[in-house]
Amino acid sequence: MTGGFRSRSKSGDKAPGAKQYGKNGAPQAGKAHRGRGQRGPAQGGRGAQRQRNRANRDNRNVGAQGAAVGKSLVHAAIDQGVDPARAVAFDVVRRVSEEDAFANLVLPKALRKQKLSGRDAAFATEITYGTLRTLGVLDAVIAQCSTRELDAISPVVIDALRLGTYQVLYTRVEAHAAVDTAVRLVVAGGEERAKGFANGILRTIARTPPNEWLKRLAPEGEIAGLAFRHAHPTWIAQSFARVLDPAELSAALAADSERPTVHLVARPGEISAEELALITGNEEGTYSPYAVYMDSGDPGQLEPVQRGMAAVQDEGSQLIARAVCEVPVNGTDQGRWLDLCAGPGGKAALMGALARIESAHVDAVEVSPHRAQLIEKTVQGLPVTVHVADGRNPQIGSGFDRILVDAPCSGLGALRRRPEARWRKSESDIAELSILQFELVSSALQLVRPGGVVVYSTCSPDLRETRAIVDRAVEELGAQELDAREFIPDMGNVGKEKSVQMWPHRHGTDAMFMAVLRRGDEEGR
Mention every residue, 6+ apart, whose C-beta is less than 8 A from residue 9: 2, 408, 411
Q: Which one from 145, 325, 409, 459 is the annotated catalytic residue?
A: 459
C-beta of residue 234 within 8 angstroms of C-beta of residue 224: yes
The order of strands in the sheet holding 310-312 is 283-284, 291-294, 262-266, 310-312
Cα distance between residue 13 and residue 419, in whole Å: 11
The answer to whether the annotation marks 489 as part of a ligand binding site is: no
The answer to whether the annotation marks 492 as part of a ligand binding site is: no
44 closest CA partner among 152, 123, 200: 152
Residue 157, classed as helix, strand or coil, is helix
The answer to whether the annotation marks 76 as part of a ligand binding site is: no
Instruction: Tell me, yes or no, if 145 is annotated catalytic.
Output: no
The answer to whether the annotation marks 268 as part of a ligand binding site is: no
C-beta of residue 299 within 8 angstroms of C-beta of residue 312: yes
Q: What is the DSSP letter of 80?
A: T
C-beta of residue 325 within 8 angstroms of C-beta of residue 349: no
Cα distance between residue 98 and residue 327, in whole Å: 46
The answer to whether the annotation marks 212 as part of a ligand binding site is: no
The answer to whether the annotation marks 343 as part of a ligand binding site is: yes
Cβ atoms < 10 Å from Cβ of 214 = 18
The answer to whether the annotation marks 347 as part of a ligand binding site is: yes
**No. of helices (H) and no. of strands (E), the chain:** 21, 12
Burial (CB < 10 A; 0-12, 13-18, 19+), residue 406, is buried
The answer to whether the annotation marks 498 as part of a ligand binding site is: no
C-beta of residue 226 within 8 angstroms of C-beta of residue 237: yes
The answer to whether the annotation marks 341 as part of a ligand binding site is: yes
The answer to whether the annotation marks 346 as part of a ligand binding site is: yes
Annotated binding-site members for S-adenosyl-L-methionine: 341-347, 366, 390, 406
What is the set of active-site residues? Answer: 459
